Structure 1
Amino acid sequence: MKVFYGWRMVGAACGIQFLLAAFLTQALGLYIAVLSDEMGWSKTTLSGAAALQSVEAAIIGPVLGWVMDRVGPQKMIRLGMVLFSAGLLLLSQVNSVTTFYVSAVLMAIGASLGGYFPLSVAVVQWFEKFRARALSIMSLGLAMGGLVVPLMALSMQQWGWRATAAGSGVLVLLTGLPMAGMIRRRPEDHGEHMDGIDPAMRAAAEREGQAVSPLQVEFTVAQALRTRAFWMLAIGHGLALLVVSAVNVHAITHMKEGLGYSVATASWVILIMTFGQLAGVLMGVTMGDWFDKRKVAALCMLAHGIGMLCLTYATSMATLLAFGVFHGIAWGLRGPFMQAIRADYFGRNAIGMIMGLSAAIIAMGQIAGPMIAGVLADLTGDYQLGFSLLALLAALGSLSFMLATKPDHPVQA
């Protein structure tokens, strides 16, 4: 039986997400904890690298969207893998703040060109009926990347962080490029159909009275920008990444300096968070196309806030495990829904540009999260104030998603 090529693309996208998560998203906290000790740099300085990555995403997001809508994803994702590898190799040679920042920007550009945004745009072009399921499976890679954190910590202990970064860069190049070559633009360009369903079969099913997914209403970029849903989704997504980015950058350092755990122990807490994330993604795979994604996202924002408070005021390992479960499940379940909701609302003809403009707004949350936590930690001596503020903002983000109701198409209105 022939396997729909869209699912093969989902597998390749999952593998690329794994590389980015294992060697950047989830590992960044380890590098920051080690560099803080070895280089003596402040938390504000180290947070600046994460902020630079988000600034880069805000600047090039709309450009990427325009390119994706016109050129397609494959060449861009390949270039992303090369730049991401170069950034890791440069990280292994860091001896100053400037070099660290340059390596961070290189990795960020690589992750932007070859990561979540372009992969999501590519996947939504191939799926409609099973869109949430496909995006959730793709996000398994992001979740599974966290499973590597204890191995990364062990590698740093055994061979040092420089060798770990260099080895990661080589692995990205050897495995990322072949997977990037599997990503294609639209099914129609390759003799395929969305979801692998022939339009003639769809019409026959309609004549027989069978339930089929409705025809997609297409928005232009200008029409999407005039809807409340566009802005509420962007704000809610930005508030979610406010917490996610702060946790990725500062959680290990907080557990080490504020709670007195070793880096190795803290990495195991991140592993528990990853299992929670995997559980959330699997929940999305099974139920994502059956429930109101907007309401699920709103509940996940409350869980993000609860998890953040558990991390902030942890008095035992049990409280840290609660953080891992709440934050991990919320991240894994909510994450794939962000692009699925946009594609459901606005169609796929201009989805690259719509997601790119959204990314410019969302990046504000990615920039602010690590900076708020880092600056307030330097001022107060711990992360409690900064993390508490982020927890409150995450909980308020649930209101944004509740307000992001599906818009009527202007022609219909």
Structure 2
Amino acid sequence: MTGANNSLIDDSTDERDSMKGWVAVACAFVSMFICFGVVYSFGAFFDPMSLEFDTSSSATSAIFSITAFIFFTGGIFSGMAADRFGPKPVLVFGGLTMGCGLYLTSLVNCLWVGYITYGLGVGVGVACGYVPMLAVVGAWFEKRRAAALGVAVTGVGLGTLVVAPLAAALITHFGWRQTYVIFGVCSVVGLILCGYLTPRSPVPAGQKSGMHLRELVKLPVFGYMYFAGFFITLALFVPFVFLVSYARAQGVDEVAAASLIGIIGGTSIGGRLGFGALGDKISRMRLYQSTFLIVAASFLIWLFSSHSFTQMIVYAVLLGGGYGGFIVLSPAVTAEIFGLNGLGTILGATYTAAGIGGLLGPTLAGYLIDKTGNYNTAIIAAMIFAFIGFLLLIPVGRYLKKRE
């Protein structure tokens, strides 16, 4: 396996792997729990909002698509800001933006206003709470970087596990508008606290300037990584928008249907921790490639689960494991290839692909569902996209082998 010391940028330092690094991991965990717990609970809000505004699947799913586009493409700006100013002002700004966005969404009277309030507010909030924290954690560790990232991004999985069914229960008792107000308050408080507690990344000894974006985008290996991320996210965000409504259409009750998203989040915790631990021992790229295959295979199970809630659970478990591995290994592999200096900017650049995939994936799936009257074509398309992503990683693996 290629070590970080063989990366394109020199990134040695004596400060890494200290206790401050684990403080950064804890703050990153909480930040991601809040950000992704909120955004991935959108499936629980899908039917209530669609019914109230009398909108189609594609129109309602566009809220999530716009949000995903903004929080991934916005990562390049939040990453740059964190590289320059540190995580504190970025997280404080993100918490305030996310809280305001959720509160304003609770007041909307038509869906298109929600595209702005939720899409922009929550999207910017997640952008501030995700990419900068990945970069901070990655910079604080050398020997156990993949494991530390695995613990940090477990916050995404646990947030999904807890918040999606919680959202469904709160909506049942208080309605979707009041639930957004509750989530908004929690977001402001949590992210601002994380901002004040997160230690700034250590400055590497003998630091060289990070790779400029113009140089980065000219590298063939960047192109393969970029488009692999694009195709896998075309697939990944589809279930977060449509799995709950799919289960409801098969007669599953509301809370049980929402629990499928929680299961994805819960099993993704195992994927994050397991793949994270393995990533410090064996080839990260091979593990990364395997997560794409796992995701692709999971959609085959979803395709044949229409009459079995048990099969839906199996799908959620398999997808969660592959998704968790993808989330933890993506920044680890990126750091291995490109180094640590300016990692926030580099991750932000690569994650714009996920933003585009997140924008187009659910929107395309919603269009296919409206056009065909069923979910099968959308599920097949997602499976194909995930497999294309795997194929695009093969040249990246060859590149890393040559560099060893």
**For the structure 1 residues 151 and 360, does the alpha-carbon distance in structure 2 shift closer, same or farther, using more than 3 Å as the test?**
closer
Q: How far off is 1:379 after superposition?
A: 0.8
Please identify, of 343-352 and 4-13, the stretch whose mean Cα deviation from structure 2 is larger: 343-352
Pairing of 1:8-407 with structure 2 (within 5 A): 8-25=23-40, 27-57=41-71, 60-104=74-118, 105-114=120-129, 116-148=130-162, 149-188=164-203, 219-257=211-249, 259-314=250-305, 315-405=307-397
CA distance in 1, matches of 2:18, 2:135: 21
Q: What per-residue deviation string (whole Å, max 9, x for no partner) do you get for residues 281-328 of structure 1?
A: 120242121121211121111111121222232131221122012100
Q: What per-residue deviation string (whole Å, max 9, x for no partner) do you get for residues 102-131 of structure 1?
A: 2222111111122x2111111112112211
**TM-score (structure 2 length as normaliser):** 0.88
Backbone CA RMSD of aligned residues: 2.5
CA distance in 2, matches of 1:356, 1:161: 32
Q: What per-residue deviation string (whole Å, max 9, x for no partner) do you get for residues 18-38 of structure 1?
A: 11122222x111111221222
CA distance in 1, matches of 2:76, 2:209: 22
Q: How far off is 1:65 after superposition?
A: 3.5
CA distance in 2, matches of 1:217, 1:240: 31
Does the aligned pair in 2 maintain the 1:229–1:405 contact within 8 Å? no
Please identify, of 322-331 and 230-239, the stretch whose mean Cα deviation from structure 2 is larger: 230-239
**For the structure 1 residues 342 and 306, does the alpha-carbon distance in structure 2 shift closer, same or farther, using more than 3 Å as the test?**
same
Q: Pick the structure with greater CA Rg.
A: 1
**For the structure 1 residues 102 and 16, does the alpha-carbon distance in structure 2 shift closer, same or farther, using more than 3 Å as the test?**
same
CA distance in 2, matches of 1:216, 1:127: 18
Q: How far off is 1:186 after superposition?
A: 2.0
Residue 405 of structure 1: SS of its match in structure 2?
helix
Residue 90 of structure 2: SS of its match in structure 1?
helix
Residue 107 of structure 1: SS of its match in structure 2?
helix
Residue 397 of structure 2: SS of its match in structure 1?
coil
Q: How far off is 1:216 after superposition?
A: 11
**For the structure 1 residues 363 and 310, does the alpha-carbon distance in structure 2 shift closer, same or farther, using more than 3 Å as the test?**
same
Percent identity (aligned):
23
CA distance in 2, matches of 1:163, 1:277: 29
Residue 128 of structure 1: SS of its match in structure 2?
coil
CA distance in 2, matches of 1:108, 1:13: 17
Q: How many residues align?
A: 383
CA distance in 1, matches of 2:55, 2:185: 27
**TM-score (structure 1 length as normaliser):** 0.86
Q: How far off is 1:183 after superposition?
A: 2.1
Structure 2: gaps spanning 5 or more residues:
1-16
Does the aligned pair in 2 maintain the 1:345–1:406 contact within 8 Å? no
CA distance in 2, matches of 1:138, 1:249: 24
Residue 235 of structure 1: SS of its match in structure 2?
helix
Residue 14 of structure 1: SS of its match in structure 2?
helix
Task: Give the AA of the match of 2:257.
Answer: A
Residue 197 of structure 2: SS of its match in structure 1?
coil
**For the structure 1 residues 3 and 120, does the alpha-carbon distance in structure 2 shift closer, same or farther, using more than 3 Å as the test?**
closer
Task: Give the AA of the match of 1:295.
Answer: R
CA distance in 1, matches of 2:189, 2:321: 31
Task: Give the AA of the match of 1:17.
Answer: M
**For the structure 1 residues 313 and 241, does the alpha-carbon distance in structure 2 shift closer, same or farther, using more than 3 Å as the test?**
same
Does the aligned pair in 2 maintain the 1:227–1:407 contact within 8 Å? no
Q: What per-residue deviation string (whole Å, max 9, x for no partner) do you get for residues 193-235 of structure 1?
A: 89xxxx9xxxxxxxxxxxxxxx999755444333222111122
Structure 1: gaps spanning 5 or more residues:
200-214
CA distance in 1, matches of 2:308, 2:98: 37
Corresponding residue of 1:212: none
Residue 109 of structure 2: SS of its match in structure 1?
coil
Q: How far off is 1:98 after superposition?
A: 2.8
CA distance in 2, matches of 1:97, 1:8: 40
Please identify, of 62-71 and 172-181, the stretch whose mean Cα deviation from structure 2 is larger: 62-71
CA distance in 1, matches of 2:177, 2:68: 24
**For the structure 1 residues 325 and 54, does the alpha-carbon distance in structure 2 shift closer, same or farther, using more than 3 Å as the test?**
closer
CA distance in 1, matches of 2:274, 2:212: 32
Task: Give the AA of the match of 2:263.
Answer: I
**For the structure 1 residues 274 and 362, does the alpha-carbon distance in structure 2 shift closer, same or farther, using more than 3 Å as the test?**
closer
Does the aligned pair in 2 maintain the 1:216–1:347 contact within 8 Å? no
